[in-house]
Amino acid sequence: MKKILLLPLVVSSVAWLSACSQEPAATTSTEQNNFDAVYNSITADKIAPPLKTLASDEFEGRLPTTAGEKKTLDFLVSEFKRLGLEPGNGDSYLQAVELMEITADPGMTMTIGNHTFDYKTDMVAGSKREQDVVTLTDSELVFVGYGINAPEYEWNDYEGLDVTGKTVVILVNDPGFENPEGGKFQGTTMTYYGRWSYKYEEASRQGAAGAIIVHETAPASYGWSVVANSWSGPQYGLVSPDKGASRVAVEGWLTLDAATRVFADAGLDFEEEKAKAMQGPYSVPLEQNMSVTVQNTYQASTSYNVLATLPGSEKPDEHVIYTSHWDHLGKDESLEGDQIYNGAHDNATGTAAALVMAEAFSKLTPAPKRSVSFLIVTAEEQGLLGSKYYADNPIIPLNKTVANINMDAMNVLGKTKDIAVIGMGKSDLEEELTIAATRQGRTVTQEDRPEAGYYYRSDHFSFAKVGVPALYAKGGSEPFDEETAKYRKRTSVIVTGCYHQVCDKFRDDWDLSGISQDTQLLMEVGYLVANKDSWPQWRETSEFQRK
């Protein structure tokens, strides 16, 4: 059973909680507040059409820099214009994001000791370097445990090591996941040090030539097919002045079975070595060499974020920013039969919800005091690149960005009695969330699987890293009623199994009431923040603070 969140609201917040659940803002002498009517206008019937459009075969899986992107951008811009929202970037709704597209030849193999491992079956590998051919020959393998250098946790797997020219082999997640009683990191709740992106970044800082992560389904929170599909085909990064030279030459993944064989050849038991790595900083040479050649095709390209704004009535220079990502994985012409990764759940749902929410905000009288902006970003699937670019090159100054509210892979499993906070306890945006949840008779709970590190896996994280309080919440796990419970049980199997697969399609039998429920709730959160006198802040215990 989920632990119910009991927030330490101040007395004044409790006193007006009931009133807020009935009437979010006071009326003026000349305008009647129509919040309730607008709130109730957010329905599943309104969400279905844009969701179905974005997830259609016509949009070709919405891969950045393809024809699918052009169709997506045209659709989003036309919708924001129709709704009367202003361009967010001067006279344009678009922000250019310069990307480097690199595609590795799938014909590669990787040799470790006496074993030859096949692409996508046993391993995936690639390079972020802008070179036609990247080769590692007889690169010495070193197991570096979790590959973490975290002074605040008194943990450094690289201490005393010189990994120059070597390939490091790294465990996924962080030491707290499988050793929650050991007092390491944040127990089963993943920290950023558990993310694959961090591990490649740290290996690069340490001067390694290659970095290979051992895939395990439980600590990764996804199966090998997700790795094989997501890390093959065109891979994108932001354009860098050094053309990727500061990155490790080769980065990739090994299946657990392949890694186990490599450790066995070194006279080591993988599980025993992992157990040692959980206890404290750890490394050991694997007494084998790795060779692989990555043949790249690469080209610079331009993708786009979309930004639309509803100006505030009193403080238009201050903004609440909603985010979702429009991109997905495109199509794979090497597949037989269905080749399109439609990305209906991930994330046509969040983008459709943003459009419906924008329409609702546009009809409010009076308009919110602060501006409300909708940032629909590119290249989330490639490592949060669109939101990272925006955070590094903000159109709305960060010191005028009041808060970020993110919508990604929304609830297609029907209405719930709870709302789950991803990364609970990080900011006092949860106070507004509790008010909005109370209106719906829902409780605020912690996410099901904090060990999966979802707070670090969607676009709000880019805002958090630059100090903007960011909220990511979605429908919880307690069904609204018995009928919903039955629907949820049979549908969740499909949704889970179709993550980053071609079967992530719009389905006419989806119950979208959960999306409309959460869209209403998140609209009210932003509405309360946009009208509140004070700005939300990070909690003192959060790893993020305003800069």
Give the CATH number, domain containing residue 59. Answer: 3.40.630.10
Using alpha carbons, select from 518, 524, 521 the residue that is nearest to residue 320.
524
Reduced to 3 states (helix: H, G, I; strand: E, B; else coil), residue 267 is coil
The answer as to whether 113 is a domain residue is yes
Q: Are residues 56 and 164 in the same domain?
A: no
- Specify burial of residue 431 (Cβ count, 10 A radius: 0-12, 13-18, 19+): buried
Looking at residue 543, what is its pLDDT? 82
Task: Give yes or no for residue 188 having a pLDDT over 60.
Answer: yes
| Cα dihedral across residues 113, 115, 121, 126: positive or negative | positive
* Beta pairing partners, 442: none
Q: Are residues 269 and 332 in the same domain?
A: no
Task: Give yes or no for residue 12 having a pLDDT over 90.
Answer: no
The answer as to whether 36 is a domain residue is no
Q: Are residues 259 and 346 in the same domain?
A: no
- Specify the range with the lowest mean pLDDT, choosing from 110-124, 221-235, 510-524: 221-235
Looking at residue 24, what is its pLDDT? 53
Q: Would you say 174 and 148 are in contact if contact means Cβ atoms under 8 Å apart?
A: yes
Using alpha carbons, select from 283, 71, 27 the residue that is nearest to residue 160.
283
Q: What is the rounded average pLDDT of the residues 94-108?
A: 95
Cα gap 118→134, rounded to integer Å: 17
Task: Give yes or no for residue 279 having a pLDDT over 80.
Answer: yes
Looking at residue 183, what is its pLDDT? 87
Looking at residue 229, what is its pLDDT? 87
Select from 259, 277, 298 the last residue of a domain.
298
Task: Give yes or no for residue 166 having a pLDDT over 80.
Answer: yes
Higher confidence at residue 26 or residue 445?
A: 445
Which domain does 503 fall in, by range? 52-84+311-531
The answer as to whether 362 is a domain residue is yes
Per DSSP, the chain holds a count of helices (H) and strands (E) of 16, 21
Residue holding tokens 């101040």?
A: 10
The answer as to whether 547 is a domain residue is no
Q: Are residues 151 and 234 in the same domain?
A: yes
Interval 374-388: pLDDT, tens: 999 999 998 899 999
Expressed in percent and rounded to 5, the helix, strand and coil fractions of the chain are 35, 25, 40
Looking at residue 205, what is its pLDDT? 97
Q: Are residues 344 and 444 in the same domain?
A: yes
User: Confidence band (pLDDT; 50, 70, 90) for 29?
Assistant: very low
Looking at residue 2, what is its pLDDT? 33
**Percent of the chain predicted with pLDDT > 90:** 85
Higher confidence at residue 374 or residue 190?
A: 374
Q: Work out the number of other CB atoms within 10 angstroms of the CB of residue 222.
A: 15
Q: What is the rounded average pLDDT of the residues 158-184?
A: 94
- Specify the range with the lowest mean pLDDT, choosing from 331-335, 366-370, 430-434: 331-335
Q: Are residues 408 and 441 in the same domain?
A: yes
Q: What is the rounded average pLDDT of the residues 181-191?
A: 87
Task: Give yes or no for residue 10 having a pLDDT over 70.
Answer: no
Cα gap 176→413, rounded to integer Å: 30
Whichever domain contains 185, its CATH number is: 3.50.30.30
Supply φ then ψ for residue 421, to 5 degrees: -95, 125
Looking at residue 23, what is its pLDDT? 46
Q: Are residues 255 and 349 in the same domain?
A: no
Q: Are residues 471 and 509 in the same domain?
A: yes
Looking at residue 349, what is its pLDDT? 98
Chain mean pLDDT for the chain: 92
Higher confidence at residue 332 or residue 31?
A: 332
The answer as to whether 351 is a domain residue is yes
Looking at residue 236, what is its pLDDT? 85
Q: What is the rounded average pLDDT of the residues 463-490?
A: 96
Q: What is the rounded average pLDDT of the residues 194-213?
A: 96
Task: Give yes or no for residue 325 having a pLDDT over 90.
Answer: yes
Looking at residue 190, what is its pLDDT? 86
Select from 253, 270, 298 the last residue of a domain.
298
Q: What single letter denotes the amino acid at residue 496? A: T
The answer as to whether 96 is a domain residue is no
Q: Are residues 341 and 242 in the same domain?
A: no
C-alpha distances in Å from residue 343, one per residue of 70, 119, 384, 409: 16, 24, 16, 9
Q: Work out the number of other CB atoms within 10 angstroms of the CB of residue 400.
A: 14
Number of folded domains that form the chain: 2
User: Confidence band (pLDDT; 50, 70, 90) for 31?
Assistant: low
Angle ∠(269,272,278) on CA atoms, nearest 5: 140
Task: Give yes or no for residue 22 having a pLDDT over 80.
Answer: no
Helices of type H across 211-307:
217-220, 224-230, 256-265, 270-279
Looking at residue 541, what is its pLDDT? 82
Using alpha carbons, select from 528, 404, 422 the residue that is nearest to residue 475.
422
Cα gap 107→114, rounded to integer Å: 19
Using alpha carbons, select from 358, 375, 360 the residue that is nearest to residue 79.
358
- Specify burial of residue 55 (Cβ count, 10 A radius: 0-12, 13-18, 19+): buried
Looking at residue 426, what is its pLDDT? 93
